[in-house]
């Protein structure tokens, strides 16, 4: 059963038919046990399976019934004003490393989409963080400076983007992405079907 009310079913959930699985009712042996059938669990299972590991997934409710079914579906290295924060709390190398890891993750999703020819509306788009009030523009300016220092592909605009509401400034990060997460994961489940044991209504507990 989904942890979200049926009245608030997301567009993603409403537009795919997902498989169901039985509950685990006996002891089994497995090389890797993945706990949780959301995007994190399924992508870990996918990557391990592709590298030849024997994987079992257990999901406490039904597969893809958690947060993954209810997100904004952005695949973004731009996660708030993060790069200034990491540069300050750690250092520039750490911030650059984090950015590279996020961009590689976007490329990896695109590679998987192409490899399995997944029809999931994957699209490269620009990420935008905007300031509505003039007071917040200085924060975007600071982050734009950090983008320059780190070599992040992006720009600060002053109310030039014609968003469908009033803004004072917009900080763009180029070459981000969006997709239909459940269409993407529906195919991942199909790929994993023959290779991975999957159980739902099976919760990992502390003994």
Residues forming the site for ligand FAD (CB under 6 A)? 35-41, 58-61, 65-68, 70-74, 203-204
Which CB sits closer to ligand FAD, 69 or 131? 69
In the complex, residue closest to ligand FAD by CB = 38
To the nearest whole angstrom, how small is the minimum distance from the Cβ of residue 202 to ligand FAD? 6
Which CB sits closer to ligand FAD, 90 or 203? 203
To the nearest whole angstrom, how small is the minimum distance from the Cβ of residue 134 to ligand FAD? 28
Which CB sits closer to ligand FAD, 168 or 187? 187
To the nearest whole angstrom, how small is the minimum distance from the Cβ of residue 140 to ligand FAD? 20
Which CB sits closer to ligand FAD, 8 or 89? 8
Pairwise CA distance, residues 129 & 77, whole Å:
12
The answer to whether 46 touches 188, Cβ cutoff 8 Å, is: yes
Beta bridge partners of 41: none
Which CB sits closer to ligand FAD, 39 or 113? 39
**What is the full DSSP assignment across 90-138?**
S-HHHHHHHHHHHHHHHHHHHHHHHHTT--S--EEEEEEEEESSGGGHH
Please count the residues of the chain. Answer: 207
The answer to whether 48 touches 192, Cβ cutoff 8 Å, is: no
To the nearest whole angstrom, how small is the minimum distance from the Cβ of residue 32 to ligand FAD? 15
And the tokens for 166?
A: 């009033």
To the nearest whole angstrom, how small is the minimum distance from the Cβ of residue 62 to ligand FAD? 8
Nearest to 55 by CA among 169, 158, 188: 188
């Amino acid at each position: 059963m989904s942890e979200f009310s049926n009245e608030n079913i997301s567009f993603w959930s409403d537009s795919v038919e997902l498989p169901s699985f039985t509950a685990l009712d006996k002891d089994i042996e497995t090389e890797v046990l993945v706990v949780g059938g959301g995007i994190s669990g399924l992508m870990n299972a996918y990557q391990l399976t592709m590298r030849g590991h024997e994987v079992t997934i257990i999901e406490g409710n039904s597969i893809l019934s958690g947060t993954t079914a209810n997100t904004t579906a952005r695949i973004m290295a731009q996660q708030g004003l993060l790069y200034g924060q990491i540069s300050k709390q750690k250092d520039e190398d750490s911030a650059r490393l984090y950015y590279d890891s996020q961009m590689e993750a976007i490329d990896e999703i695109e590679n998987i989409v192409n490899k399995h020819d997944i029809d999931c509306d994957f699209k490269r788009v620009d990420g935008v963080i905007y300031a509505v009030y003039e007071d917040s523009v200085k924060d975007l300016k600071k982050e734009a400076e950090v983008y320059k220092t780190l070599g992040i592909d992006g720009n600060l605009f002053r109310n030039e983007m014609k968003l469908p509401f009033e803004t004072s400034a917009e900080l763009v990060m180029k070459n981000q992405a969006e997709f239909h997460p459940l269409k993407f994961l529906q195919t991942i489940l199909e790929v994993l079907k023959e290779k991975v044991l999957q159980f739902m209504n099976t919760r990992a507990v502390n003994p």
